[in-house]
Amino acid sequence: MNVENRAEDFVHRLDAAAKAVEDKLDALLAPGPLAGEIERPARLLGAIRYSTLGGGKRLRPFLVLESARLFGFEGDGPLRAGCALEMIHCYSLVHDDLPAMDDDDLRRGRPTTHKAFDEATAILAGDALLTHAFDVLADSATHPDATIRCNLVLALARAAGLGGMVGGQALDLGAETARGALSQQEILTLQAMKTGALLRFAVDAGAILGRADEARGQALSRYGAALGAAFQIADDILDAEGDAAALGKRAGKDAERGKATLVGLLGLETAKARRNALVDEAIAALNATGLGSATATLAEAAQFVARRNN
């Protein structure tokens, strides 16, 4: 396949995954209560569905599907794991947009959840999505082997919680009010936690589901970490350069709020060079899996992350 065909094939696969994720999320967030639940309140469910359905690139679930596929594991299990991860991602966006955090009015080209509903409902929608993600992973429909399900739950808890995304968000908020600027290492740590941890979990989940051997699992994890770092720099570059219409959210916020970013610290050109080097690093990690051309879609995903415009 030439470069153009590869990019086209990637977009086709991402679209197909996004459609499957949309349908599965729709089913997982249906009004009917599950065994053990009492009822699903209509307004809360409305806010959850508003913040979860009908938008987003679905990159994280796509990475779960593609990495599980590397190990011959396809179907409902990876789709459910991808949806669980997307629920965590959507909850983080809803909470991040709240007045107490980034205070944003626009997300995915629409009013943020607290604007479309109200703050308390947005907080609860995020809480319910966070909890429901673990329900989805723990359900035997995700994998028949309870040890695999337990490993998924543990890995997601570590990626999303205190020492992962939530911790990264806390460091980010702290940096806004800190007296001195953050060092490059501090920014890298913050970004690896806030954004990188969920992206890395995406490929770790595929390896867990597909029972990858340790060396391949570790190589894939290195790919996920490099991809996550490239993703965050690309996000910072988009914020500095991007246009709000394409982004579906306001641009230029980082500089305004004094956010700790590599673009702010190193300048745009150095940040772009670093982003490109991270894409190379991600692809080198894929090559280290020894899985050859089977990893071509994941290599394309790394390129996509760097060249995206939203």
Residue 127 interacts with ligand GRG (CB under 6 A): yes or no? no
Binding string, 203-232, against ligand GRG, x = CB under 6 A? -----------------------------x
Instruction: Find the binder of ligand GRG among 14, 17, 93, 192 (CB under 6 A).
Output: 93
The smaller minimum CB distance to ligand GRG, of residues 121 and 289, is found at 121
Rounded least distance, CB 296 to ligand GRG, Å: 22
- Tokens 């911790």, located at residue: 167
Instruction: Find the binder of ligand GRG among 128, 165, 299, 305 (CB under 6 A).
Output: 165
- H or E segment at 107? strand 106-107
Span near ligand GRG by CB under 6 A; candidates 63-71, 150-158, 161-169, 217-225: 161-169
- CA separation for the pair 84, 266 (Å, rounded): 35
Instruction: Find the binder of ligand GRG among 6, 13, 40, 57 (CB under 6 A).
Output: 57
Rounded least distance, CB 51 to ligand GRG, Å: 10
Is-contact 86 60, C-beta < 8 A? yes
Is-contact 117 50, C-beta < 8 A? yes
- CA separation for the pair 164, 161 (Å, rounded): 5
Sites for ligand GRG among residues 250-309 (CB under 6 A): none
Residue 88 interacts with ligand GRG (CB under 6 A): yes or no? no
Degrees to nearest 5, angle at CA 155 with 49 and 59? 45
Rounded least distance, CB 118 to ligand GRG, Å: 18
Cβ neighbours of 3 (radius 10 Å): 9
- H or E segment at 274? helix 268-287
Residue 166 interacts with ligand GRG (CB under 6 A): yes or no? yes
Q: Is 100 helix (H, G, I), strand (E, B) or coil?
A: coil
3-state secondary structure 127-195: HHHHHHHHHHHHCCCCCCCHHHHHHHHHHHHHHHCCCCHHHHHHHHHHHHHCCCCCCHHHHHHHHHHHH
Span near ligand GRG by CB under 6 A; candidates 53-61, 70-78, 221-229, 287-295: 53-61
Instruction: Find the binder of ligand GRG among 121, 195, 289, 303 (CB under 6 A).
Output: 195
Residue 192 interacts with ligand GRG (CB under 6 A): yes or no? no
Instruction: Find the binder of ligand GRG among 67, 142, 169, 303 (CB under 6 A).
Output: 169
The smaller minimum CB distance to ligand GRG, of residues 68 and 237, is found at 237
Radius of gyration of the chain from its Cα atoms, rounded to whole angstroms: 19
The smaller minimum CB distance to ligand GRG, of residues 95 and 222, is found at 95
Q: How far apart are the first and last CA of the chain?
A: 26
The smaller minimum CB distance to ligand GRG, of residues 149 and 172, is found at 172
292 DSSP 8-state letter: G
- H or E segment at 284? helix 268-287
Residue 200 interacts with ligand GRG (CB under 6 A): yes or no? no
Residue 59 interacts with ligand GRG (CB under 6 A): yes or no? yes
Chain residues that interact with ligand GRG, rule: CB under 6 A: 56-57, 59, 89, 92-93, 95-96, 101, 108, 165-166, 169, 194-195, 232, 235
